[in-house]
Structures are given as C-alpha cells and as structure tokens.
Amino acid sequence: MKLQLALDLVDIPGAIEVVKEVEPFVDVVEIGTPIVINEGLHAVKALKEAFPNMTVLADLKIMDAGGYEVMKASAAGADIVTILGVAEDASIKGAVEEARKQGKQILVDMIAVKNLEERAAEVDSFGVDYICVHTGYDLQAAGQNSFEDLRTIKAVVKNAKTAIAGGIKLSTLPEVVAASPDLVIVGGGITGQADMKAAAAEMKQLIAQG
C-alpha cells in the first residue's frame, strides 16, 4: 500500500516546500488539478526537476483527447496521469495506448460515476493501471466519503490497482487501510496540518502496519 500526497492549494514554490518537508514519507506526489489549472504543466516539470526520483502524478482529470493530453503530461515529466471514469471509452483507451508508448501509467478517477460496479469492471478491461474511488470537495462538504465505494470496486477489479481519495485524515485512515487499497491519496489530511511532517510520518506508519 502506497501513500500519495495531493498538492492542490499551493503554487509551484509552495509545492516544492511541502514536498521537501514530507518527502521521506510519501511514495507519489500529485500535482493537483487546481495547480495545473493555475500554473499549467510547468508545475509538473518543476516538481519532477526538483525531485527526479519521486513518482509524480499529474491530476489532469482528462475528459477528452486522452492520447494527446497524456503525451503532453508525459513530456512534462509525469509518471502517472489521471483520466475520468465518466470519459468516453475511446478517450480512456487512447490514454492507455499513449501511456504504454511513453512508459507511463494511467489512473482512472471514478468521481461522479453513477454505475460504479459496472464501470469499474469496464475500465479495468481497458488495461488501466489504477482505478480510484474519489469523493471530491463538493461532496466531502456534504459529509460523504468513498469507503463503501472502495469495497465495491475491490470486488470487481481484477487487473488494475485500486486507490482511494477524498478527505482522508489520520482519524479515518485506519478504516481505509483495513480495506486494503493499493494507493491512499491524501491532500488536506497532510497539507492542512500544523505539523505536516508528523502527519505524513504517522500516516506512513499506519499504512506500513496495515
């Protein structure tokens, strides 16, 4: 089980500062969608240059032109690129094909997917690397989480690794760990803490014990 740090509400220098602090405890660094919107793929390039040995995920949440956008993110240095589960099959297949050419990986974000069980099985058959259940900020605000959704996809996904994101905190991490995803994605649960290093270290330890 790996830990991914999601960086959403910072600029490029801020992102580099956070990663410097928690680097030993995280396996993947995510350049979140808000950073990509604000700064473009330069943010991915800057983080990869600053931390060449770190796995960098570009959270593009691709909806169309899968192959083209994966090509651009790969050129910027992304190791993993995200596409939405609600995208067309052709877009997801195109993303996977380009990722294979570039030696990169695809994570499918299942945010807003209604037929979760059926769609997870379908995208799994496209050869994607990760399938991620995700409660976005707007539903987190309404008190929702993806813990049950993780159990749902784990029952049907046969090839891809599974991941979970959305409002995970130290207090809720044990429940997540018990469900054994391959990748746990945490943003505010680390970046929103006064002592980010301590939060990341404790999360890493809980994950290692799980």
User: Which residue's CB is nearer to ligand 5RP, number 67 or number 187?
Assistant: 187
- Cβ 101 to ligand 5RP, closest distance in Å? 26
Q: What is the dihedral of CA 130, 119, 31, 74, to 10 degrees?
A: 70
- Cβ 189 to ligand 5RP, closest distance in Å? 5
CA proximity to 19, closest of 42, 66, 51: 51
- The three-state secondary structure class of 43 is helix
Site residues, ligand 5RP (CB under 6 A): 6, 8, 32-33, 59, 136-137, 165-168, 185-189
User: Which residue's CB is nearer to ligand 5RP, number 102 or number 193?
Assistant: 193
The C-alpha atoms of residue 114 and residue 155 are separated, in whole angstroms, by: 17
User: Which residue's CB is nearer to ligand 5RP, number 121 or number 210?
Assistant: 210
User: Which residue's CB is nearer to ligand 5RP, number 137 or number 159?
Assistant: 137
Q: Which residue has the tokens 């002592």?
A: 195
Determine the length of the chain. 210
- Cβ 64 to ligand 5RP, closest distance in Å? 18
